[in-house]
Amino acid sequence: MLYLSTRNNKIEKKPSEAVLEGIAKDGGLYMPKSFEGVDFPMDQLSKMTNKEISAQVIALLFKGDKMLEDEKGELEGAYKLVSKAYDGKFDNEDFAPLSKVADAYVMELYHGPTCAFKDVALQLLPQLVSASKKATGMKDEIVILTATSGDTGSAALSGFSNVDGVKIIVFYPRNGVSAVQERQMVSVDGKNTCVCSVGGNFDDAQSGVKSIFANLKLPQGVQLSSANSINIGRLAPQVAYYFKAYRDLMANGEIKMGDKVNFIVPTGNFGDILAGYFAKKMGLPVGQLVCASNTNKVLTDFFEEGVYNKNREFYLTKSPSMDILISSNLERLLYLVCGSERCASYMKQLKENGEYKLTEKELATIRKEFDAGFCDDIETLKTIKDVYEKEGYLMDTHTAVAWNVYEKWLKKTGDKNKTVVLSTASPYKFSSSVMNALGKEYDGEFDAVNKLYEYTKAKIPSSLVNIESKAIVHNVTVEKDEMQDFVDKMVNKKVWMD
């Protein structure tokens, strides 16, 4: 397997090299050279364990790379990496359980150490990085640069904290994440970690990180990488839970092999839903992938009109992890549809003009695979209340966006296939918004965690119990135009945060 840059298909890397670089030197994202021969053994799926599914996905997407080297074969090598990543890290072995809600299923992806879907990938990414360093013979220190809209930061810090040979710097938008999300990040005490708030929104932080990758001069013995889904090592592990959901639906008697299943995915950066498209390319019988957005509906407009336009008002919403106007992973879909030359042109137009427009043929190709919808804050809160009162099921704001879009999409299409709605975070991470939705009183967000439990009796994740009492370790802030100087000081002048 080789990986190519989305902006120049002459840039080729082995999987381990792509994982270590995170982003290509030309600013492109790494994509498999081809999905031919990357076929998941669907005839074995019903008998596979969760870890076996994850190992199979990794072995296929990274096949032929020394990072998977093992005397018993690459599949066994992948299985060992998965075991190191997941054993004892989740509430139980089922890291993505399905819950029946009305006529659909909700896939709960928040049972990891930081209570968000990104734990599935970010517990495995450090293992992939370590294995890649060994495979390539790299001795350099790796500095992970990550921008977060809330959940990636805490999940990446959890995964990389105190990993030898790696340091991690996380940037998050000041006043743009929930109090629980912020406390999760700033209380991490790993000696190789740094957390910094940025004046601006997530797009400012993400653009700043990409600029640092392109422009920062590094000292000898240091290499930058990323824990965002721009890194293929972060995206690949997420493919597995789509196969797992399909297996569980078969086990529940809801479908038989070959039946198509729809997936409704709340997304801002387009990584989670793209993982579902990867699964489809690998042989999973996916019906429709529906992209659910909040009021920052740049993706909804794109799928409807074929125009990506970031020149619009940015909204702070009740679903902050989706408050994004530059969806980085969409670039990978463009590459698959129109090739590297046109993809590079579109990215150039986006950078220079803030927008680009697909051809009718390109848009038609995309709309065969994806649909989209959006949900505003009023609808989000109403959905939380309605689903809880009617079904007894408690969901966070991002899941509510997806559920609301699912209901609208079902009414529009009348689709009869089984549908899975991805739940990306615990309701306790956004407890104040959930309490507002339920019409209950509380005194601040941390009090809302306890009041939400008193009202619903839904179990509080162990990592969020008494989170307000966790000491603040990181108290650093910069403006968006100061990010590169900050990283330069940390990396080149060796002034790491104590």
Question: By C-alpha distance, which of 402, 396, 415, 394 is closest to 375?
Answer: 402
> What pLDDT score was predicted for residue 190?
86
Phi-psi region of 344 (alpha: psi -120 to 50; beta: other; left: phi over 0): alpha
> What pLDDT score was predicted for residue 150?
77
Q: Is residue 498 over pLDDT 50?
A: no
Residue 452 falls inside a structural domain: yes
Residue 429 falls inside a structural domain: yes
For the segment 338-390, what is each residue's pLDDT rounded down to a tens digit? 999 999 999 999 999 999 999 999 999 999 999 999 999 999 999 999 999 99
With b meaning 16 or more CB within 10 Å and e meaning fewer, what string describes 170-199?
Answer: bbbbbebbbbbbbbbbbbbebebbbbbbbb
Could you list the residue range(s) of the whole structural domain that residue 292 is in? Answer: 98-116+235-463
Q: What is the CATH number of the domain that holds 347?
A: 3.40.50.1100
Residue 427 falls inside a structural domain: yes
Q: How far is CA 297 from CA 104, 236, 489, in A?
A: 24, 25, 37
Rounded Cα gap, residues 314 and 350, in angstroms: 16
Q: pTM (2 decimals)?
A: 0.94
Answer whether 398's CB lies under 8 Å from 425's CB.
yes
Residue 249 falls inside a structural domain: yes
To the nearest whole number, what is the mean pLDDT of the chain?
Answer: 95
In sequence order, the 6+-apart residues with CB closer than 8 A to the CB of 17 are 3, 132, 136
Confidence of residue 494 (pLDDT cuts 50, 70, 90): low
Question: By C-alpha distance, which of 300, 280, 293, 275 is closest to 367?
Answer: 300
For the segment 216-251, what is each residue's pLDDT rounded down to a tens digit? 999 999 999 988 888 999 999 999 999 999 999 999
Confidence of residue 496 (pLDDT cuts 50, 70, 90): low
Active-site residue flag, 118:
yes
Name residue, tokens 């009021």. 295
Residue 218 falls inside a structural domain: no
For the segment 6-61, what is each residue's pLDDT rounded down to a tens digit? 999 999 999 999 999 999 999 999 999 999 999 999 999 999 999 999 999 999 99
| Average pLDDT of span 106-123 | 95
Name residue, tokens 């032929």. 64
Q: How far is CA 406 from CA 108, 242, 296, 359, 409, in A?
A: 16, 17, 18, 28, 5
Confidence of residue 149 (pLDDT cuts 50, 70, 90): confident
Domain count, the chain: 1
Catalytic residue among 51, 118, 210, 480: 118
| Average pLDDT of span 431-438 | 97
Residue 318 falls inside a structural domain: yes
Rounded Cα gap, residues 476 and 486, in angstroms: 10
